[in-house]
Structure 1
Amino acid sequence: MAQLKNSVDGYGWISIVLHWLMALTIFGLFGLGLYMVELTYYDAWYKGSLDLHKSIGIILALVWIARVIWRFSNTTPQDLGDKKWEHQVAHLVHLLLYLLMLALFVSGYLISTADGRAIEVFGWFEIPASLMMDNQEDIAGVIHWGLAWSLMGLVALHALAAVKHHIVDKDRTLVRMLKSH
């Protein structure tokens, strides 16, 4: 029977849904970001794409917080296999994924609030501007760009490792993130 919570044997539906919801949203934001940087101020969707990117980014940050809370308040499934170094690398990569996402949220916030205006999230609520520095938008923009590409590189490594576990090691690592136990 499928479970909502994790166990030592596998992930529950809440962890699985949060994982894939965030993964798909991150890919979408990355694609939208690549599209946005090619637009000029006079393009029809210039402001709309920025507003959408910011709003989805804030919602993703809230989901990220929920996911971190869920992760630390829930059982962690046992590592599969007996390669201790591989388990350590996997844990490091997961930590880096979480930290890169956090840094992306902060740098995106700094870009979006550099002019002192709040971030409006789908007209539902606003995130106020609080930090102001010289060249904030430019500095945060360069950092955000580098972090986004770094995240995509680490996500690729993460995905390749999951496929390697499935095809080479023939273990349940990938399957555990596709269906609840």
Structure 2
Amino acid sequence: MQVRNTANRFGALSIGIHWVVAVAVFGLFGLGYWMVDLSYYDDWYRTAPDIHRSIGILLFMVMLLRLVWRFVSPVPRPLPNHTRFEVVAARVAHLVLYVLVFVAMVSGYLISTADGSSISVFDWFEVPSVTGQIKGMEDTAGLVHYWTTWALVVLASLHGLAAIKHHLIDRDDTLRRMLGTDRRHH
């Protein structure tokens, strides 16, 4: 499999980034959902948020790479059996997914840096606060983060269900293309 996308197939880099982002989004959502109920005396009280923030920052970097890669290696054209509605719905859904991922990451960053502190990414490097101390910002950013992540997970789940529908009902290569196992070898 080649690294770059072609007119008919996703390349290895696009496929890899897609699945890394998918696992990270659902993993971060699960971790975030679990960690908000931890008590001060729980062993994971500090560790879970540190992991959540670190993966979130790394995901931000991967998403920036993904955006650049979309311009360097455009996505394959839609399959011929896709209706106009499916093509437009897929484009809109992808755009909204990108927006939700970035809003979730930026709002998460603002929650963590509202007091002026930086974020340590697995003790590898620090990401400084760009806002300094802003009273109440963590509450506003927290609400945005909460609703954005729920919207992201719901839309990503619908995205996955649409791929399964294409695979099981339409019996086309939509899902196979993102797995790198499509029947077309153009």
TM-score (norm 2): 0.93
2:106 corresponds in structure 1 to 106
- Asked whether the 8 Å contact 2:21–2:59 carries over to 1, the reply is yes
- Asked whether the 8 Å contact 2:115–2:134 carries over to 1, the reply is no
1:123 corresponds in structure 2 to 123
Classify 1:82/1:178 alpha carbon distance in 2 versus 1 (closer, same or farther; 3 Å): closer
Equivalent runs, 1:15-164 vs 2, <5 Å: 15-80=14-79, 81-131=81-131, 132-164=133-165
Q: Distance in 2 between matches of 1:98 and 1:141?
A: 19
Larger RCO, structure (CA 8 Å, separation 6 or more):
1
Opposite residue 63 of structure 2, the aligned amino acid is W
Opposite residue 6 of structure 1, the aligned amino acid is N
Structure 1 ranges of 4+ moved more than 4 A: none
Alignment gaps of 5+ in structure 2: none
SS at match of 1:177: helix
Deviation, structure 1 residue 133:
2.7
Q: Distance in 2 between matches of 1:49 and 1:159?
A: 27
SS at match of 1:163: helix
Q: Distance in 2 between matches of 1:51 and 1:66?
A: 23
Over aligned residues, Cα RMSD in angstroms? Answer: 1.1
Q: Distance in 1 between matches of 2:172 and 2:13?
A: 22
- Asked whether the 8 Å contact 2:104–2:149 carries over to 1, the reply is yes
Q: Distance in 2 between matches of 1:125 and 1:161?
A: 39
SS at match of 2:167: helix
Aligned residues: 180
1:12 corresponds in structure 2 to 11
Q: Distance in 2 between matches of 1:105 and 1:78?
A: 29
Opposite residue 125 of structure 2, the aligned amino acid is F
Q: Distance in 1 between matches of 2:139 and 2:63?
A: 25
Deviation, structure 1 residue 134:
2.5
